[in-house]
């Protein structure tokens, strides 16, 4: 219950050592393998067009991998983690539902951030381009290695998921404008989500978050899935309605 209250107030929750060491090794090895194989669908630095991204694949760093998409389909090891009953129970409590669906269209990826080349992710709310009845999804970000300020860990604005933010506070790509004084005040309240390998960051689809570049020496890897209560249906016309979801066993069973 304390976890739920914290999450409702702050919009995020960190579960330390959520993945045990043996599970983490399996997940990390699988992620490394996927990185080496680089099978489609993939997203490159040139695709994201974040600040610092090259304009095209031919530019230096353009063909650096940013996300290995559709993690669910990539390995049973990822599926077992994504449906882990202990994690599902916590997310079910946060969402107030024992019936959860994992979204195939959103996140569902291995996030990679390379030391040789990476761009920064500006402040945004994931729900800006997600189409569901309610802005109430939870994303589960599993750190497969250390996440620190140096290698571009997530930054969060606690409580921002509860704010009503007018459209003019966002730019035309739905990033939170840095030239708006009210926005800047909010950004001063940001906290860093520094994670150890195996820590799980759970965050609300309306939470403002951002992340920097990787100034470290190794590739940063995180496995990220997003969940909704089964009754919070995707809206017609959105990617979630087309790509579907995986219904998890009831968290009561």
Ligand X SMILES: O=C(O)CCC(=O)C(=O)O
Question: Binders of ligand X among 177-216, rule CB under 6 A?
Answer: 209, 211
Beta bridge partners of 138: 204, 227
CB of 98 to ligand X, least distance (A): 27
Q: For residue 159, give Cα distances in angstroms to 4, 29, 135, 205.
A: 13, 35, 14, 12
Q: Which is nearer to ligand X, 91 or 97 (CB)?
A: 91
> Largest alpha-carbon pair distance within the chain?
52
CB of 93 to ligand X, least distance (A): 23
Per-residue string for binding with ligand X, 137-166, x by CB under 6 A? ---------------x--------------
CB of 166 to ligand X, least distance (A): 21
Q: Which is nearer to ligand X, 7 or 176 (CB)?
A: 176
Residue 94: alpha-carbon gap to chain centroid = 16
Q: Which residue has the tokens 């045990």?
A: 20
Q: Which is nearer to ligand X, 189 or 249 (CB)?
A: 189
Q: Which is nearer to ligand X, 97 or 222 (CB)?
A: 222
Distance CA 19, CA 22 (A): 8
Q: Which residue has the tokens 């761009």?
A: 119
Question: Binders of ligand X among 211-250, rule CB under 6 A?
Answer: 211
CB of 222 to ligand X, least distance (A): 7
Q: Does 121 bind ligand X (CB under 6 A)?
A: yes
Record the tokens describing residue 126, joined without a space: 């994931």
Among 42, 102, 110, 111, binds ligand X (CB under 6 A): 111
Number of other residues whose CB lies within 10 A of the CB of residue 222:
23
CB of 113 to ligand X, least distance (A): 6
Distance CA 130, CA 185 (A): 26
Distance CA 92, CA 88 (A): 6
Using DSSP's 3-state secondary structure scheme, residue 205 falls into coil
Residues with Cβ within 8 Å of residue 242, at least 6 apart in sequence:
105
Q: Which is nearer to ligand X, 102 or 211 (CB)?
A: 211
Q: Which residues bind to ligand X, rule: CB under 6 A?
A: 111, 113, 121, 126, 152, 209, 211
């Amino acid at each position: 219950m304390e976890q739920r209250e914290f999450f409702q107030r702050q919009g995020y929750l960190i579960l330390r050592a959520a993945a045990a060491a043996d599970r983490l090794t399996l997940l990390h090895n699988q992620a490394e393998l996927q990185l080496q194989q680089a099978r489609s669908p993939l997203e490159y630095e040139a695709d994201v067009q974040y600040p610092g991204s090259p304009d095209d694949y031919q530019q230096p760093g353009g063909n650096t991998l940013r996300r290995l998409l559709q993690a669910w389909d990539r390995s049973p090891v990822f599926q077992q983690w994504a449906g882990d009953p202990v994690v599902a129970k916590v997310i079910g409590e946060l969402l107030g539902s024992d019936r959860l669906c994992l979204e195939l269209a959103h996140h569902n990826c291995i996030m990679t951030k390379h030391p040789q080349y990476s761009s920064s992710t500006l402040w945004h709310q994931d729900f800006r381009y997600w189409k569901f009845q309610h802005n109430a999804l939870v994303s589960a970000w599993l750190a497969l290695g250390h996440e620190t300020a140096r290698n571009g860990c997530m930054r969060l604005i606690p409580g921002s998921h509860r704010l009503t933010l007018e459209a003019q506070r966002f730019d035309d790509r739905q990033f939170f404008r840095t030239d708006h004084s009210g926005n800047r005040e909010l950004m001063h309240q940001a906290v860093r989500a520094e994670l150890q390998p195996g820590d799980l960051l759970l965050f609300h689809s309306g939470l403002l978050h951002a992340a920097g570049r990787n100034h470290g020496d190794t590739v940063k890897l995180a496995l990220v899935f997003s969940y909704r209560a089964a009754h919070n249906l995707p809206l017609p016309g959105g990617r979630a309605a087309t790509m579907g979801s995986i219904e998890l066993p009831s968290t009561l069973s």
